[in-house]
Structure 1
Amino acid sequence: MTFIQSRTTVWLLLSLGFAATIATLTLIPQASMSVGPQGVDKLYHMIAFAALIFPTALLRPKGCLRFGCLATLYGGIIEAIQPVFGRSADMFDFLADGLGVTIGIFLGLAARRIFFKR
């Protein structure tokens, strides 16, 4: 396996893993989990979506715009279907998702400059 192929494999596995984790955690009925202090769930959304896009910014930077838009759309779809799973849709969660995507892109590109020095 070449370096490019292994980088693509790592990117794909990390991205799919984070996407699956986000879906699981955001679709579990809320009564079965403790949320924490008021508003902390927005921080969780930002961290989760920053983690989701970080591998793209680090390993496939040319895809940042495309995959950033897809990640934000993913957050919107999750918010739209949450009522089916006994949760409530929240526009502020969606905004936190988008902010997390933006933060993740900036952090990933910064890490790329440090680690890959290109």
Structure 2
Amino acid sequence: MQYLLSLNQRYWAPLTIVLLMIVTAGSLEPNHGPLPEALPWDKARHFLAYGALTLPIALARPRHWGLLLAGMVGWSVAIECAQPFVGRVCDIRDFLANASGVMLALLGAEIMRHMAVSHWRR
């Protein structure tokens, strides 16, 4: 666990930029039909994408969670509002799945950091 946290501490910024570009591109890509069925439920994709996007920042910058929460939720709202301009639909359920992924990533980061500290103190 400690190794993963130190690796994240070193590479969180470039990882976050790459993930942000992937999530944004995927969210604004015009709808060309059904998505692959690797994750059959569309909301699970939203949940996982925003959770994965939030986790590296939450682990690297735990004191800035309020700002992180506001930024990720704001980005989600902006993406949802921009989707009608690229032939997609603005859906409140997508936003709720995004926000849920952000919240779970924040909780998961806190648990991971607590586990690492507890292990280190032994």
Place the TM-score, normalised by the shorter chain, in its bin. Answer: 0.7 to 0.9
> For each residue in 1:46-68, what CA deviation from the matched residue of structure 2 results, as whole angstroms up to 9, or x when unmatched?
11111111012211101111011
For normalisation by structure 2, the TM-score amounts to 0.80
Which position in structure 1 is the counterpart of 2:112? 111
**Unmatched tracts of structure 2, length 5 or more:** 1-5
For normalisation by structure 1, the TM-score amounts to 0.83
Contact 1:57–1:112 (Cα < 8 Å) also in 2: no
Cα deviation for residue 29 of structure 1 reads: 1.1
> How far apart are the structure 2 equivalents of 1:18 and 1:68?
16
Q: How many residues align?
A: 112
The 5-angstrom pairing of residues 1-118 of structure 1 reads: 7=9, 10-31=11-32, 34=35, 36=37, 40-117=41-118
Cα deviation for residue 114 of structure 1 reads: 2.3
> How far apart are the structure 2 equivalents of 1:115 and 1:47?
23
CA RMSD of aligned residues (A): 2.3
For residue 35 of structure 2, give the secondary structure of its aligned residue in structure 1: coil
Letter in 1 for 2:54: I
Cα deviation for residue 12 of structure 1 reads: 1.1
**Unmatched tracts of structure 1, length 5 or more:** none
> How far apart are the structure 2 equivalents of 1:85 and 1:17?
22
Identity %: 26
CA 1:35–1:76 in 2, change beyond 3 Å: closer, same or farther? farther
Cα deviation for residue 75 of structure 1 reads: 0.5
